[in-house]
Amino acid sequence: MGELEVPVACPCCAALTGGGTCPVCFWTDDGQAEADADVVRGGPNGDLSLAHARLNFAVYGASHPRYQDLVRPARPDERP
Ligand SMILES: [Zn+2]
């Protein structure tokens, strides 16, 4: 502690919850970003590309429909 923690924006839903598995969209931040958003990396996000996850978030409110029951709304201090 003692260091100022700078919130990282989730690459999927843009809430300030990045750096791990996002509680707002359940995307797991594995470093994927704009340059390779269409690539299916097959890591913690399985068969989801970042672009697909963003589309799912827009439609389902989660990076994948299977996560719909696991996500929660962004808190005021997490909103982009
Ligand atoms: Zn997110």
CA of 46 to the centre of ligand 1 (A): 16
Query: Dihedrals φ, ψ of 55, to 5°?
Result: -65, -45
> How many Cβ atoms from other residues are within 10 Å of residue 21's Cβ?
18
CA of 57 to the centre of ligand 1 (A): 8
Spatial CB neighbours of 22, under 8 Å, sequence gap ≥ 6: 10, 12, 13, 15, 28, 29, 63
- What pLDDT digit, counting tens, does each position of 3-19 carry? 666 789 999 999 999 88
- What pLDDT digit, counting tens, does each position of 5-60 carry? 678 999 999 999 988 999 999 999 999 999 999 999 999 999 999 999 999 999 99
pLDDT at 1: 47
The CA distance from 3 to 36, in Å, is 31
Which residues neighbour ligand 1 (ion) by CB within 5 Å?
10, 12-13, 22, 24-25, 27
Q: Is the pLDDT of residue 2 over 70?
A: no
pLDDT at 7: 80
pLDDT cut 90: percent of the chain above it: 86
CA of 24 to the centre of ligand 1 (A): 5
